[in-house]
Structure 1
Amino acid sequence: MERFVNRGQNKRSCTNDARSPQKRMKLESDERIKEEEEEDGILAEFSHPVPWQKIEAEGLDCDYALLFSKEEADHLFKQLEEEVVYSTGEEAKVQVFGKVYNIPRKQATYGDAGLTYTYSGVTRLASPWTPTLEYIRDAVTNTTGHTFNFVLINRYKDGQDHMGEHRDDERELDPLCPIASVSLGAARDFVFRHRDARGKQTRRQIEPVKLELAHGSMLLMNSPTNTFWYHSLPVRKKITLPRINLTFRRILVDRKK
């Protein structure tokens, strides 16, 4: 994944310069050093040397990388444990085929002021960004080049907490923006299954794609992944530690209206 930075060129005057050649050479040398320092600053701000791993299959396009070091990921996890307020009561339920169930994990929604997100028959209002969520969001933006205005947070207390197969394909999501999934805490298996290879009467034999999402990692789900592939986080009884997952999205405000 590459980022291109337009480097501006200093325009020099065409008027006669009465200064000595040695003086001009020194000034020009100083200007070149200043330009190089400015360019280095731009590159340091807008590009992160993240080694990406490409994950591809028919209709599946993902990028995977370690976004944070273990030390930074540990700190971010601790901060989120202190800052994030999870849903309770009716907001902690989900509707599936007309039936209401308790969500087998904790959930929270944060984002820009006034944003709502509707999924599984429930509409959720975004709480204001916390400092830690803003920091993670900006790190994701600086690394991917995409901006996000909403995040869905799932907290899994251990391997018993899970998420069933689904697609993030709600019409209010910007189809041109990938979904960036940041994982903190216990490493968990993540499974993609093609829509034509689900259920007892599968139409095609397509192998699932299985990943392990590590502490401090980011999975970028690019288009058209969520059109053709379902994803899940299955039960893993041997996992005893918690995990926090943050899926950054861009909601189209005009489409919601």
Structure 2
Amino acid sequence: MTEKAPPCRLTGLVLQQLTAMDNFVMGEQSKRSCSTDVRRSPRKKIKVEKSERMKEEDPEEEEDAVLAEFAHPVPWRKIEADGLDCDYALLFSKQEADQLFKQLEEEVVYSTGEAAKVQVFGKVHDIPRKQATYGDEGLNYTYSGVKHSARPWTPTLEQIRDAVTRTTGWTFNFVLLNRYKDGQDHIGEHRDDERELDPVSPIASVSFGAARDFIFRHRDARGKQSSQQIEPVKLELAHGSLLLMNPPTNTFWYHSLPVRKKVLSPRINLTFRRILQGSKK
């Protein structure tokens, strides 16, 4: 069951955030195929172990107390299309985002060797960006034919992860980082649908640095032999933003970060995931 957050007061800062998000949906979408609107913070009901004292209390008061722990209201923008369900918000102020970007540049150790490669149609290629994986002890994540092991959380990664949890109510045990040195670095169309991922958990994508275009394309509208005419959904992910990709988005929609030659500054993206415990060594 998903609980909605209480209405939040629209302060001057919130109104500035809403204004900053007005242009983040770039594609022309019909009302039937894609819609956006401002929503309150999505919530997940948190499971807690009840003490005998808690069992005697009012269940509604107890649940409100638990949910209050995750009451970090932000103005959300809902992005919806056929099988696509996302929530977008500015999670950090510019000052906070600037500081976190600086700390990530100092702390993160990026992969080298085989872990910095990808298999495409059976051939191994260097990835056109830097990549790193962090998370709970013993977790592994395999994609594009390469197995990645989680490094221990850094203080900054824990800080960002906990901010995402406070805002959404979802907990995550793994993060994949991609660093794009400029607009030449990119990532091709793919779906985050690996078997290690918890199928009911969203993927939380946090961006720092240069704003970049992020494009969703429906699986039935890809290539020359596409079976349907479905317009892509194009977003611009801002510095300090959070994009929550809810199920079943990654079942039906591919996403990519295409080359943008005019972008000259770096970007770091963090995708927080929930890895099933059976994926440990």
Deviations 1:148-195 (A, max 9, x none): 000000000000000000000001100110000000000000000000
Alignment of 1:64-103 (within 5 A): 64-103=88-127
Aligned to 1:58: 82
Displacement of 1:254 in angstroms is 2.6
Contact 1:172 1:256 in 2 (8 A): no
Q: Which residue of 2 aligns with 1:193?
A: 217
1:92 counterpart letter in structure 2: A
Q: CA contact under 8 A between 2:136 and 2:153: conserved in structure 1?
A: yes
- Separation (CA, whole Å) in 1 of partners of 2:242 and 2:250: 17
Structure 2 residues not aligned, in runs of 5+: 6-42, 47-52, 54-63
Asked whether the equivalents of residues 70 and 168 of structure 2 are also in contact (C-alpha less than 8 Å), the reply is: no
Q: Is the 8 A contact 2:85 2:246 kept in 1?
A: yes
Cα offset for 1:219? 0.2
1:161 partner SS: coil
Whole-angstrom CA distance in 2 between matches of 1:91 and 1:47: 38
What one-letter code is carried by the residue in structure 2 that aligns with 1:61?
A: D
2:229 matched residue in structure 1: 205
Q: Deviations over 1:38-82 (max 9, x none)?
A: x99x84x42112000000000000000000000000000000000
CA contact (8 A) 1:172 1:251 kept: yes
Cα deviations across residues 187-223 of structure 1 (Å, max 9, x unaligned)?
0000000000001111000000000000000000000
Instruction: Indicate if the aligned counterparts of 2:76 and 2:88 stay in contact, CA closer than 8 A.
Output: yes
C-alpha contact 2:175 2:272 (8 A) present in aligned 1: yes
Of the three residues 179, 182, 195, the one matched with 2:206 is 182
Aligned partner letter, 1:215: H
| Residue pairs, 1:216-227, within 5 angstroms | 216-227=240-251
- Matched-pair identity in %: 81
What does 1:1-257 correspond to in 2, within 5 Å?
1-2=4-5, 3=43, 43=68, 45-254=69-278
**1:253 Cα deviation after fit:** 1.1
What is the alpha-carbon distance in structure 2 between the residues aligned to residue 90 and residue 125 of structure 1? 12
Larger radius of gyration: 1
How many positions carry a matched residue from both structures? 225
Q: List, as ranges, runs of 4+ consecutive aligned residues in structure 1 with deviation greater than 3 Å.
A: none
* Unmatched runs of 5 consecutive residues or more in structure 1: 6-10, 12-38
Query: Which SS does the other structure have where 2:208 is aligned?
Result: strand
The TM-score with structure 2 as length reference comes to: 0.77
Which amino acid counterpart does residue 175 of structure 1 have in structure 2? Answer: P
